[in-house]
Amino acid sequence: MHDERRRIEERVERVHTQRIKPAIYAASVPFEVEAWQAPGEPVPFEEAAAASYTPFAMDTPWGPPWGTTWFRMRGQVPAEWAGRRVEAVIDLGFVGDWPGNQAEALVHLADGTPLKAVNPLNQYVPIGNPVRGGETIDYLVEAASNPDILADNFSKITPMGDILTAGDKPLYTFRRADLAVLDEEVFHLDLDLQVLRELMVHLGEHEPRRHEILHALDRAMDAVDLDDVSGSATAVREILAPVLAKPAHASAHTVSGVGHAHIDSAWLWPIRETKRKTSRTFSNVTALADEYEDFIFACSQAVQYEWVRDNYPQVWERIKKAVDKGQWVPVGGMWVESDGNLPGGEAIARQLVHGKRFFIEHFGIETKGVWLPDSFGYNASYPQLAKLAGNDWFLTQKISWNQTNRFPHHTFWWEGIDGTRIFTHFPPVDTYNARFSGEEMDRAVRNYQEKGGGTRSLAPFGWGDGGGGPTREIMERARRLADLEGSPKVVVEHPDEFFAKARAEYEDAPVWNGELYLELHRATYTSQARTKQGNRRSEHKLREAELWATTAALHAPGYAYPYEKLDRLWKTVLLHQFHDILPGSSIAWVHREAEAEYARVAKELEELTAEAISALGGGDSRVFNTSPRDRAEVVRTSAGAPVYVKVPANGSAPLTATEPPHPVTVSGRVLDNGLVRVEVAEDGTLASVRDLAADREVLGDTGNLLRLHTDLPNYWDAWDVDKHYKNRYTDLLDAESVTVVEEDPLVGAIRVERSFGKGSRITQTITLRAGSPRIDFETDIDWHEAEKFLKAGFPIDVRAPHSSAEIQFGHIQRPTHTNTSWEAARFEVSGHRWVHVAEPGYGVAVINDSTYGHDVSRTVREDGGTTTTVRLSLVRAPRIPDPEADQGKHHITYSLLPGASIADAVAEGYALNLPLRVADAAGAPEPVVSVDGDGVTVEAVKLADDASGDVVVRIYESCGGRAQGVLRTGFPLAGAQITDLLERPLSEAATDGNGVPVTLRPFEVQTLRLAVGER
């Protein structure tokens, strides 16, 4: 047989694209269209309905950046269309090949009922199937003209990322607004051809099936009447039916399709626009559920449900109906799909608590899995936290983006730092916006790394980020691929069903231990420093407010615990932990609003804390310690005078001076407190740090070295820092001044001022206090650089085989060598309050109050000694998507802690982030809880969410070893339970007077619910 593949394939492509697709709509008539441009921000439907509209013609430009244009569309179904399927077809002037991040619209009836959205790949609104003929159609269409921020492949700096700078030039040209007849037979022929053509080209040329499809398509083209496609469509489909009916091989891979619409809660659009995106997509989804009974849609992010409930009640009712029918599936159990590295441990616990409670309260459904396809890596505490929240499975996708190493599993057990394992899947289709294309199905099978062990994988399908979600075309593809020779079998099902089947067939799946580190997007640990600082401060202020509100509720008659306010503030912070807000990868508008929100949160939490302390009664000044460790340190009075005090953990003490063990002396540029001696060089760096207790030099080279790197990643500016950034840099060694600014027996401080680059300035105050070896570097940065990366380095004279960095509820060890490509890829990593490096017998910690990124490297000196260098990432200057990212002022404090154990690092990390508070209060109530026993750390103290008056305490083992102790209460203890994160009982806890004996395995998290007895 002659090889005629090229001729046939080209013939099929032309007839399909040029004749069959245009015939899907058999006839059309235009709407009469009028328009009204809403001034400023979006307006309610009622205001738009009452506005004055003017005639609007097709092919007219419309839509300033971030604007809202309302279109009134009126038309009448022709009488001769009676009995046909009629739809409104609307093309707003869609651009590019990305169905999100551009124009979108929500279509309403004249009475305000939302019908369905219009999106680039979902342009129809059903009118009737069939119509009577003669119906009058009256729509109000709310169209959003959102700019395409990442046009030109992420290569152009744009002012479009903020309404304040975007201008008012129209972005789109309206192309079509018609009533049209859908030719259902041609519609289905189009889908038949799509599925067969795509399957064919992804089969091997040696496969008989490929040639069988090829010649069937050739025969089908012979049957197409080019002058009457509609009339010949049935005959063409009959020719294709036999090749579509051939069943899949018995050993074919199974793809579990789960409807999905990944909607970033903010990213290249502000939060206000996401609220509208959710209404549009959810309208589409509920409409599709009515059309396809086998459709199942999984949706995470409880906050998005809340937005729809509060702003689009009719859509909310449709969602509830779809949930009741089992077609809409809440998943994920988190308030938002948060970043996987940067939120604190308690914050991730609250993400799970608030998300799961929302779904239980509103739908009676407890979600069973964590759904996080798009976060930029996942911390090693997730397995334990997920299980403590009642989850059985974990889903992610983003690790497929690894720059260097291919992740070795798709279905596996993920083991966290405490030993907890959770069944985890990583879809080999390699997208969370699948459409069941031939290429995707081929990739899912080809990628799947569990062949021989497992036989199935999951594919989330639907257009995300405002693209409209799943479509009828995707559902039709799924039906054709349910049992088709040459393709994996597709079944649309609940993700719980997929995970149950996958686990049943592959119980002995491989184990991955530790973090799921993404070898990409490493700059998200640093970008938009003020957003990150707002999160860190908010997390600690929430801890503070809850502790003192609990104290007041137990000890201050008449004080009412602020349940609703704390709930609202937590949800605000959780929202901004979304995986494109906290990582710093959003547009300027998002981060401008985030900074303002964090300022409001801080103000309100300060007020709540002050109210709680005030409720304890006025009196002498006291010092309040919110951290979980006893503290002896210098605090300042309201007048600014330093005082050395001792304060118990989670408690308070009088502001009474205590004699420190050794005064601070200042001699030239040398600070000495009897524990350490710090010598500041003429250029403002550290020439020496001598640990006097250990009698050893801490530094192996110049300390506190500020290094300015050129930083232009290959792609994704705000997200990425590529390894080549290290090759070009400038060390900031020209100090304008090095001045002693405080010389007191309790405090010695030297200020260093520098200017550099494009008008940037750094002012650092290096402080040593009595009684502590911790050296603080209070750093004010006025930043005006572009495409630069600022690091602060401490070369430490220890031979450390690994570094330890604090993560959620514990810490993780990473090798300091680069023996393998996996270690070399971790050239920038994340941590929370501290990084610790040590050799046997001696360690040093670097502590911070607001940054997350760092790197650790090791060199051997000429004297044979080893220097382990810890460098904190302070600030970046990417220009895409926010051209002004990080510009302006920053205030960061970081510290060097010589002679530190892990326990010391934990204590000082809390201390730096939870400064002692001085306030007037009467009496000295006992701390709500205190702990006897090393390693047992109190993370949260609060009243139970059910307003029962019970006290809830979250503890964990923080040093990496087994821990035993007694949790003692400052109130009569009537009983105790161990609970899950949602404060539901797991078991009774033994009590001993006013104490609860606790035993924790390494890094174990435990939640205790304590009943308050009568006094």
Q: What are the residue numbers of the active site? A: 374
Residue 840, classified by CB atoms within 10 Å of its CB into exposed (0-12), middle (13-18) or buried (19+), is exposed
Which tokens in the block code for residue 261?
């619409």
56: which residues sit within 8 A by CB, 6+ positions away? 33, 34, 35, 62, 71, 174
- Under 8 Å between Cβ of 100 and 121: no
Q: CA of 394: how far to CAs of 249, 368, 583, in Å?
A: 30, 9, 21
Spatial distance between the Cα atoms of 532 and 850, rounded to a whole number of angstroms: 7
Number of CB atoms found within 10 A of residue 357's CB: 17
For the record, the structure tokens of 558 come out as 């008449």
Closest to 382 (Cα-Cα) out of 349, 426, 427: 349
Q: Do 297 and 328 meet the contact criterion of CB atoms below 8 Å apart?
A: yes
Tokens of 88: 């409104």
- Three-state SS string across 358-416, please? HHHHHHCCCCCEEECCCCCCECCCHHHHHHHCCCCEEECCHHHHCCCCCCCCCEEEEEC
- 598 contacts 538 by C-beta, under 8 angstroms: yes
CA–CA distance, 563 with 544 (Å, rounded to integer): 14
Task: Report which DSSP code applies to 440.
Answer: H
Secondary structure string (H, E, C) spanning 630-674:
CEEEEEECCCCCEEEEEECCCCEEECCCCCCCCCCEEECCEEECC
Are residues 587 and 881 in contact, defined by beta-carbon separation less than 8 angstroms?
Answer: yes
Q: Cα–Cα distance between 202 and 213 in angstroms, integer?
A: 12
Residue in 560, 652, 608 with CA at minimum distance from that of residue 943: 560
Q: Specify which residues 91 forms β-bridges with.
A: 176
DSSP string covering 789-840? EEEEEEEES---SEEEEEETTEEEEEESS--SHHHHT-SSEE-SSEEEEEET
β-pair type (936-943, 802-807): unpaired
Pairwise CA distance, residues 528 & 882, whole Å? 9
End-to-end CA gap in the chain: 96
Q: Is the CA virtual torsion 614, 619, 623, 626 positive or negative?
A: negative
CA 159/CA 866 separation, integer angstroms = 48
Phi, psi at residue 874, to the nearest 5°? -95, -50
Beta bridge partners of 73: 33, 139
| Distance between CA atoms of residues 847 and 851, nearest Å | 10
Q: If we measure between CA atoms, which residue out of 373, 411, 369 comes closest to residue 391? A: 369
- Six token digits for residue 308: 């729809």
Distance between CA 464 and CA 16 in Å, rounded?
A: 27
To 5 degrees, how large is the angle CA 631–CA 637–CA 643? 50
Q: Please report the sign of the dihedral spanned by the C-alpha atoms of residue 916, residue 917, residue 918, residue 923.
A: negative
Structure-derived torsion over alpha carbons of residues 582, 587, 590, 592, reported in degrees to the nearest 10: 100
